[in-house]
Amino acid sequence: MIQRIQSLYLLLAAGASVGTWFLDIFKVTLSDDQVPKYFNAQSNFMVFVVYMLIVALSLFCIFLFKNRKLQFRLTVLDIFLAIAAIALQYFKVQDFVNAFERTGKTIASSTYLPGAFLPVLILIFLIMAARGIYKDEKLIKSLDRLR
Question: Residue 35 — pLDDT band, cuts 50, 70, 90?
Answer: confident
Tell me the pTM.
Answer: 0.88
Nearest 10 degrees: CA dihedral of 100, 49, 117, 80? -120
What are the tens digits of pLDDT across the range 38-85?
998 888 899 999 999 999 999 999 998 888 899 999 999 999 999 999
Question: Residue 139 — pLDDT band, cuts 50, 70, 90?
Answer: confident
Q: How many CB atoms lie within 10 A of CB 35?
A: 6
* H or E element at residue 26: strand 24-30
Confirm if 50 and 108 have CB atoms less than 8 A apart: no
Domains of the chain (ranges; CATH) run 5-140 (1.20.140)
Residue 28 dihedral angles phi and psi, to the nearest 5°? -125, 130
